[in-house]
Chain A
Amino acid sequence: MSYRNLAVTELVERARTGDNRAVGRLLTLVERGGPVADQIAELTHPLRGNAHVVGVTGSPGAGKSTLVGRLLAEWVAQGFRPAVLAIDPSSPLSGGAILGDRIRMDDVVPEGTFVRSMATRGHQGGLALAVPGAVRVLDAAGFSPVVVETVGVGQVEVDVVAAADTAVVVATPGMGDAVQANKAGLLEVADVFVVNKADRPGASDTRRDLQLMLDLAHVTGQDVDEHGTYFRPEIVMCTATSGDGAAATIDEIHKHMAHLKASDGLSRRRALRVRAEVRSRAERILMDHLDRAISESDLLTDADPNPVSTAESIVSRITGND
Chain B
Amino acid sequence: MSETTTTDDAETDRLRIVLAKLGLDGHDRGLKVVARILRDAGMEVIYLGLRQTTSSIITAVEQEDADAIGLSMHNAGHLTLGPKMVKALEADGIDVPVIIGGIIPPDDEQVLLDSGIAAVLGPGAPAEEVARAVREAVAQRR
**Chain B binder among A112-120, A205-213, A228-236:** A112-120
In the complex, what distance in Å separates the CA atom of A43 from the CA atom of B5? 15
Q: Is the CB of B62 within 8 A of A21?
A: yes
* A7-B3, A28-B65, A121-B14 given; A102·B47 CB < 8 A: yes
In the complex, what distance in Å separates the CA atom of A121 from the CA atom of B12? 12
Residues on A with C-beta less than 8 A from B38 are: 96
B25 within 8 A of A: no
Interface centre among B16, B63, B93 (most CB of A within 10 A): B63
- What sequence of 0s and 1s flags, for each residue 1-43 of chain B, a beta carbon within 8 Å of any chain A beta carbon? 1011111100011101000000000000000000110111111
Q: Is the CB of A42 within 8 A of B1?
A: yes
- What sequence of 0s and 1s flags, for each residue 66-110 of chain B, a beta carbon within 8 Å of any chain A beta carbon? 000000000000000000000000000111000000000000000
Q: Is the CB of B65 within 8 A of A25?
A: yes
Return the contact of B48 from the options A8, A90, A93, A103 (Cβ within 8 A). Answer: A103
Residues on A with C-beta less than 8 A from B7 are: 4-5
A243 within 8 A of B: no
Q: Is the CB of B4 within 8 A of A98?
A: no
A60 within 8 A of B: no
Chain A residue nearest in CB terms to B141:
A2
Distance between B34 CB and nearest chain A CB, rounded to angstroms: 10
Return the contact of B14 from the options A6, A95, A114 (Cβ within 8 A). Answer: A95
B113 within 8 A of A: no
Chain B residue nearest in CB terms to A88:
B44
B115 within 8 A of A: no
In the complex, what distance in Å separates the CA atom of A6 from the CA atom of B60? 20
Return the contact of A103 from the options B12, B49, B62 (Cβ within 8 A). Answer: B49
Residues on A with C-beta less than 8 A from B4 are: 8, 35-36, 39
Q: Is the CB of B39 within 8 A of A102?
A: no
- What sequence of 0s and 1s flags, for each residue 98-131 of chain A, a beta carbon within 8 Å of any chain B beta carbon? 1110110010000000111101010000000000
Q: Is the CB of A98 within 8 A of B42?
A: no
A27 within 8 A of B: yes
In the complex, what distance in Å separates the CA atom of A96 from the CA atom of B43? 4
Which residues in chain A, 56-111, are within 8 Å of chain B measured between CB atoms?
90-91, 93-100, 102-103, 106
A-B contact pairs, 5 of them (CB 8 A): A8-B4, A23-B63, A32-B12, A102-B48, A103-B49
Distance between A47 CB and nearest chain B CB, rounded to angstroms: 14
A29 within 8 A of B: yes
Residues on A with C-beta less than 8 A from B94 are: 21
Which residues in chain B, 99-130, are within 8 Å of chain A measured between CB atoms?
none
Residues on B with C-beta less than 8 A from A115 are: 63
Residues on A with C-beta less than 8 A from B63 are: 20, 23-24, 114-116
B46 within 8 A of A: yes
A219 within 8 A of B: no
Distance between B56 CB and nearest chain A CB, rounded to angstroms: 7
Q: Is the CB of A8 within 8 A of B64?
A: no
Residues on A with C-beta less than 8 A from B42 are: 94-96
Q: Is the CB of A4 within 8 A of B47?
A: no
